[in-house]
Amino acid sequence: MPVELSLAVCAFNEEKTLAAVLEALCALEIDREIIVVDDGSEDETHAIARRFGDRHPFVRVARHETRLGKGAALKTALNCAAGIYFAVQDADLEYDPRDIPRCLDEMKKRNLDVIFGSRFLKPNPTCYPLFLAGNKLVSLYISRLVGLKITDAYTGRKIFKTVSLRAAGIESSGFEVEAELAVKFGLKAAKGELVYGEIPIDYRPRTVAEGKKIKIADGLRAMASALYWRMKA
């Protein structure tokens, strides 16, 4: 039976924050299903997800026996998604789940195929100015590659029409999936093949001590991956 929104929660060793994220997602007053993909966690992530699945029929849990990466987790969620729309929610507390209904309303109002929640369209705190500059540089680079202004290409707040995401496909297994999706959808939007939009969102960055996993080298990989997908198109 179709639902309005499939929410994919990709989790790797997020026992400290997963319960709070799932509580917030369960409290949303929208027609949704929640698909938690435990990407080979070695802590209590899977057990926490299962507890929510036992309590809520709209929460489903999938598990990778070993860590395969964010792209692989999104593919797993997409394969079983029943929603008209497909949203990504990280398993930490950087992105506020309460932004999701507002993003979804904007999609329907403007008949968008995809919306990126941008951390840079409104003032948000930052812990590491170098990471902030790197994110903006990657977004500018991808914008130039595809011929479309994307202010936050690596945002963790992305919502797609499920049919559009399935048509584009997800091929990357790791975190480079963000570059793949930004390039694929950016190119299609620039050609007028779909409608892209952005919306300002709230963002509370984690520190490295809190579990931040992104490193400077990831920015170089992001640019290399974006170039690969642009050349492949």
Per-residue pLDDT of 14-53, as tens digits, reads: 999 999 999 999 999 999 999 999 999 999 999 999 999 9
- Residues 139-180 have pLDDT tens digits of 999 999 999 999 999 999 999 999 999 999 999 999 999 999
Task: Please report how many Cα atoms fall inside a 13 Å half-sphere around the Cα of residue 118, on the Cβ side.
Answer: 19
Which pTM does this prediction carry?
A: 0.94
Q: Please name which of 139, 99, 94 lies closest in space to residue 7, comparing C-alpha atoms.
A: 99
Burial classification of residue 207, based on how many CB atoms lie within 10 Å of its CB (0-12 exposed, 13-18 middle, 19 or more buried): exposed
Least confident of 57-66, 128-137, 159-168: 128-137
pLDDT digits (tens, 9 = 90+) for 112-125: 999 999 999 998 76
CATH 3.30.300.30 fits 1-93, yes or no: no
16, with CB counted inside 10 A (0-12, 13-18, 19+), is middle
Annotated domain spans of the chain: 1-93, 121-155+162-233
